[in-house]
Structure 1
Amino acid sequence: MLLKTVSQKTLGFSFLLVFLFFIMCASVVYGYTDTSWSTAKEAFTNFNGSNEHIILQSVRLPRSLIAACVGASLAVAGVLMQTLTKNPLASPGTFGINAGAGLSVVAAATLFSVGSLQAYTWLSFLGAAVAAIGVYCAGSFGREGLTPMKLTLAGAAIAALFSSLTQGLLVIDETALEQVLFWLAGSVQGRKLETLAGILPYLVIGWIISLLLASRLNLLSMGDDVAKSLGLRVGAIKIIAALCVILLAGGAVAIAGPVGFIGIVIPHVTRAAVGIDHRWVMPYSALLGAILLVAADILARYVIMPQEIPVGVMTAIIGTPFFIYIARKGFNAK
């Protein structure tokens, strides 16, 4: 644990908050269209209708805000899932929740020609819920009941199933393929503030409830029996936390598609920095998740410029080695 005292953690949190603001500003400034910090300042203080000012206000600012919100949501969802399942590999991506949300949106677009954001939102939540229930049920089969290994295998199976069904639907409808292919890779490009405004209330609810659950999650992490002996209503807490995961992961997928690895990487980095107290893990994870996705989005603009790669590809490049490390460390210890 790098930060041990309350003052150190408070100072670290303040630093991350300032750094997040700085990197979001950098996200607004840097990209294919050459702009400067002074141009960005003028775009918001003395708008003149120029092409650069329009890009800064209507393209890059929404992109920066959406990346920060999606990154924070996926990171907090990862913390909740790892605590609930006691599985170091748990995340919306590895447990098929992102894939379930993505499948529901693609199915609606291909089979029923649904195109409204509000419909996508509710369909994402529905798909995320179906995937979460499916993984839990599949991982509970057998004499040993629910175990981290069985949950991981069940999550991989559900993710593979839903991804295959998604690809099958896209093969049937080539028009829908053109519309959602970039979205399926995970991207915040081309999103508008109206898109975020429609999803943000659900994300905020998920963030607030997750923070309120922090002290109870500390008890839950000690084991169900210990938590029950201390008066915790374990079943109710798990249901509420699961609903938060569905809100956060479903909302994030509705905006940006199934962005992976944020939910795995960030909780482990946060615990290494501030320990296992969820009262610190939750807010730190939210900030670090936002920073990581905004930074990944900036890098995604420059790798093959003038073209861009989806930010989901960048998070996969960053997260895959970490996933392998956690998998070896987590399961070798058992």
Structure 2
Amino acid sequence: MTTPLPQSEADTDAPRHAQRGVWLLAALALLAALLLAMGLATGSEGFAPLQAMRDDPVMRQIVMDVRLPRTLGALLAGALLGLAGCVAQGLFRNPLADPYLLGSASGAALGVTLALLGLVQAAGEGGAGGVLVHALAMHAGLTGAAFLGALAAVMVTLLLARGALASLQLLLAGVITGVVLGALRDLILQARPALLQAMQSYALGSTAFVSWQGCAIMALTLLVCVLVAWALARGLDGLSLGADTARSLGLPLGAVQAALVVVLALATGAAVAQCGLLAFVGLAAPHLVRALVMVRHRQLLVLSTAMGAVLLASADWLARWLIAPQELPVSVLTALLGGSYLLGLMLRRRRRSVEGMR
């Protein structure tokens, strides 16, 4: 029998915070719908595809097979990163934790590099072996290679941590894994400079190549991760009080932490596999929600997911609109927007602390 969780600051005025959370979720849903419409109308051809899509099959294809899956992909990838960021910050009790802490980003980048290397070698070699490697690489695709690389990196991190979940040992294992896998990727690129240009777009992050299949994969992963995280939200509330307190409340801490690590790895791997490395989305989304409402993790998980979707979709739209018909790298905008917000937040807190000391 578990003991009820102690009352937190978020519960002192629960009805008001709950109402503000509902309004925030509604506002984020409206923003997501608006961004979806804006994404359909933005591109190198401007509004022309929307106006002519009824009579022109080419224009219809531009809207339905390029712009729509790209915009939906940005929403889904942002939602996955927002959810992963909220889980990471709750799991490690660190507001600066992001989805890439377990080395998934470096693993995904190494997986893509190895897949490109296999394609290049298969193209340069004849015979049945080269044809087999080329066929396997084309079938799995860069998306599959990135996803497998991200999951492999997380597994290596867990092995190095030896089951010490949600602790400094796990964080250090993630940092070590990321550094080592990043070094391996750099060695491959140094030996094969021809891969640098192909890796550049992936490293900068892009939603331009998201397909309907990619949207389906991310949507299914998001559904599973949200349901699992929602079920484990009480465990995150307990972890926020400290591991010893959570154990004293009767929470199955080990099982909860292991399941949350799986959610973090799946959500991050799915997003990185489809869109590459996107900075600050998973880190900034929970911060923005906490700045607006004070709720427990059950509501925070949903709001962070919606906030991440809006952040990445906004950055994707700006990347297509600012210098149209050309595009900016999406991760550059996410880094500028998210980094500027976090810098402003740090300066504001520092100013408050200085004023409090006077």
Q: Which bracket does the TM-score occupy, shorter chain normalised?
A: 0.7 to 0.9
The yes-or-no answer on 1:26 pairing with 2:38 is: yes
Q: Which residue of 2 aligns with 1:127?
A: 149
Pairwise CA distance, 1:161: 3.5
Aligned-partner residue type, residue 187 of structure 1 = S
- Which amino acid is 1:182 matched to? S
- For the pair shown, the structure with the greater C-alpha radius of gyration is 2
Shift, 1:301, TM fit: 1.5
Deviation at 1:258, TM superposition (A): 1.4
Give the TM-score of the pair, scaled to structure 2. Answer: 0.78
Deviates more, 1:66-75 or 1:171-180: 171-180
The Cα shift of 1:152 comes to: 6.2
Match of 2:83 among 68, 76, 86: 76
Matched, 1:9 2:21: yes
Q: Describe the SS at the equivalent of 1:73.
A: helix
The amino acid across from 2:207 in the alignment is V
The amino acid across from 1:242 in the alignment is V
Partner of 1:85: 92
Matches within 5 A, 1:223-234: 223-234=242-253
Deviation at 1:209, TM superposition (A): 1.1
Write the mapping of 1:1-334 to structure 2, written as runs, cut at 5 A: 4-35=16-47, 40=50, 43=53, 47-111=54-118, 115-116=137-138, 118=140, 120=142, 123-132=145-154, 146-147=167-168, 155-324=174-343
Which amino acid is 1:10 matched to? V
Q: 1:13 to 1:229 in 2, by over 3 A?
A: same
Secondary structure in 1 aligned to 2:137?
coil
In 2, are the aligned partners of 1:117 and 1:198 still within 8 Å (CA)? no
Unmatched runs of 5 consecutive residues or more in structure 1: none
Q: Is the 8 A contact 1:59 1:192 kept in 2?
A: yes
The amino acid across from 2:324 in the alignment is: M
Unaligned runs of 5+ in 2: 1-9, 119-132, 354-358
Instruction: State the shift of 1:134 in Å.
Output: 5.0
Identity of aligned residues (%): 29
| CA separation of 1:320 and 1:12: change in aligned 2, threshold 3 A | closer
* Letter in structure 2 aligned against 1:253: V
Give 3-state SS (helix, strand or coil) of 2:16's partner: coil
Residues 170 and 196 of structure 1, relative CA distance in 2, 3 Å threshold: farther
User: How far did 1:215 drift?
Assistant: 2.3
Cα distance in 2 for partners of 1:101, 1:177 equals: 16
TM-score normalised by length of structure 1 = 0.83
Go from structure 1 to structure 2 and tell me whether the alpha carbon gap of 1:171 and 1:121 turns closer, same or farther (over 3 Å shift): same
**1:224 deviation in Å?**
1.3
- RMSD between aligned alpha carbons? 3.3
Deviations 1:97-121 (A, max 9, x none): 2122221232233146553464655
Q: Is 1:74–1:249's contact at 8 Å kept on the other side of the alignment?
A: yes
Change (3 A) 1:312 1:115: farther
Q: How many residues align?
A: 322
